Chains A and B, each alone.
Chain A
């Protein structure tokens, strides 16, 4: 296809992506280098019956003018990246000097907002992803074994947790694990502890979020594996049977190697999706015990009276770097594949 025709076909799509995906990334980098304006103060003299007092006030008019002149704020360089809300190298240095053991050190670093979010995000990504793959694989094996007539309905119900809006799905579970809801009260009976609440302790909140994540994504892995199972070569399976492989050995040495490329695909999609975990934290109201990088950005933009653009932008840039590191192996592999083909 000549360059000109190609361009004519792809231009609308390319423009939209450049304007609303590439440009915002540039805008985030730019915004992260600036910081909110300092308050401009004026002195106002208040004279009352008991004499005059001089009061310092924010000059809102001057602030307004300054804001419209420089909407991004004043230049701050990389300052926002290193402040205590983000990388906080200075604070980490202090904690390093102050603490004796590794445990203490990690505990205190965990209290810094950025690291708290980063550790939860990484934990969520790297715990949920493998669990999803394993659970999805076993569901696929199970569904493959049941009679054809009920497969349709089984697949239908299996898809629901994935299709339903993440925020809504997490709300549905949140209401059920409420101490007055059905799962919450069931757990209280099982553990014989009337004060048990999944929302109270950080560990239980983390576990709840992980379970939600697995529940939400397992159908995806299931569907992909199930489609893969339909294509497992019959000849190999039968020759394995002739060779006397047991049922488990057939799964282990025929099915799993055949499905391995699919597992890589699921892992890639899941890493991307789990790294941006956000909605469940809102749905489960878990922000006190668990925050993710996405949630940090959201709360910077929504939390206070005026949005903290600089802080949100700095976290966004750090998150983007995280995404690129996460994708690096895939990018390198795709590059090699492409060169081999070319």
Chain B
């Protein structure tokens, strides 16, 4: 019934479908194109003569004998030791997610259950911290870290990323815990639990949807960070994103830009998988703040 009343006139339908198609091309084509191009040689992907070379792979066939080549990946992963950065990224992101969720659930739970005025000030301070450009914080760390001799190590970077992530985690989990009925843990306390036991036995079993969503965003922050990791890590401890940016300086001159292209595609692939599996959680996480605040 509602459907027939909502049926659109044909021109409007065509317009909106056309618009969505254009948007989809704009959103997806760059990634598809770069993934495709990463299996070609440089004169194809950056073709001076004819852009269709990138599709047909004319130069790739001439140079390697096949229309696709893994030379870029081999150069990046083995020659330039990109695999080391991948391991570093895995360590950093995993630690950041685990630590910031642990701290964040405890803090967010307390903020949601305490009725005192100071919770407001903590949340406001967190909002201001959330807005701080990361590079201003980094310029505050650099000198003290040099002095203390803790600059350049992975644990330093992990704890810094946890701290930068904390305001967002607190806000997210605070609003998530508000949506869990108070009665749940309060009845547990009436039954004789302490506050912490009530949290452990009554709240933890039902909090996983909110924690998973928040964890996804912590993961993205740590994985996507360039500012902190590029300034606080030594060359050998670099994670993927600063490693890719250092490729640009050193390899572009040597005509090895395809290494950077291959590394970029390698770094996008996990994100692609992440969206594929967690699309629903990402969407609900993005909207959680909007609907509640």
Residues of A within 8 A of B (CB): 1, 3, 5-6, 8-10, 12-14, 16-17, 19-28, 31, 71-72, 138-139, 141-143, 145-146, 152, 154-161, 163-169, 171-173, 175-176, 178, 180-182, 185-186, 215, 219-220, 223-224, 226-228, 234, 241, 247, 261-262, 265-266, 269, 272, 275-276, 278-279, 282, 285, 293-294, 297-298, 300-302, 307, 309, 312-313, 315-316, 319-320, 323-324, 326-327, 330-331, 334-335, 338, 342
Contact = CB atoms under 8 A, between A and B. Distances in A.
A77 B280 CA distance: 53
Contacts, number: 293
Given A13-B166, A27-B143, A178-B46, A282 B133 contact: no
Given A24-B140, A175-B261, A228-B290, 12 more contacts: A12-B103, A21-B137, A21-B167, A160-B275, A215-B27, A223-B287, A224-B286, A227-B291, A272-B131, A297-B139, A313-B140, A323-B131
Given A272-B130, A319-B133, A302 B231 contact: yes
Contacts of A9: 106-107, 109-110, 195, 199
A276 B143 CA distance: 22
Contacts of B284: 227
Interface in B96-135: 102-104, 106-107, 109-111, 113-117, 120, 122, 124-135
Interface string B35-51: 00100000001111001
Contacts of B248: 171, 285
Interface string B50-79: 010010000000000000000000000000
Given A9-B106, A294-B135, A143 B30 contact: no
Among B31, B130, B279, B286, find the residue whose CB has the most chain A CB atoms closer than 10 A: B286
Given A13-B103, A160-B275, A316 B140 contact: yes
B141 interface: yes
Contacts of A138: 19
A28 to B, nearest CB: 4
17 contacts: A6-B114, A9-B109, A10-B122, A19-B163, A20-B141, A146-B16, A156-B275, A164-B224, A165-B223, A165-B267, A167-B244, A182-B54, A215-B26, A272-B130, A298-B135, A320-B136, A342-B117
Nearest to B55: A182
B260 interface: yes
A178 B275 CA distance: 29
Contact of B8 (A145, A164, A275): A145
A141 B16 contact: yes
Contacts of B167: 17, 21
A266 B290 contact: yes
Contact of A20 (B28, B46, B114, B164): B164
B290 A278 contact: no
Consensus secondary structure, chain A interface: helix
A241 B5 contact: yes
A169 to B, nearest CB: 8
Contacts of B33: 176, 182
A189 to B, nearest CB: 9
Nearest to B113: A1
Contacts of A276: 133-135
B178 interface: no
Given A145-B8, A156-B279, A301-B231, A21 B129 contact: yes
B234 interface: no
Listed from nearest, the 6 A-B pairs whose CB atoms lie closest are: A24-B140, A20-B163, A13-B107, A9-B110, A276-B133, A316-B136
A312 B135 CA distance: 9
Contacts of B12: 247
A159 B46 contact: no
A173 B30 contact: yes
Interface in B223-278: 223-224, 226-227, 231, 241, 244-245, 248, 257, 260-261, 264, 267-268, 271-272, 274-276
B94 to A, nearest CB: 17
B208 interface: no
Given A6-B114, A282-B226, A294-B135, A12 B143 contact: no
B170 interface: yes
Given A160-B27, A266-B290, A275 B133 contact: yes
Contacts of A27: 140-141, 143-144
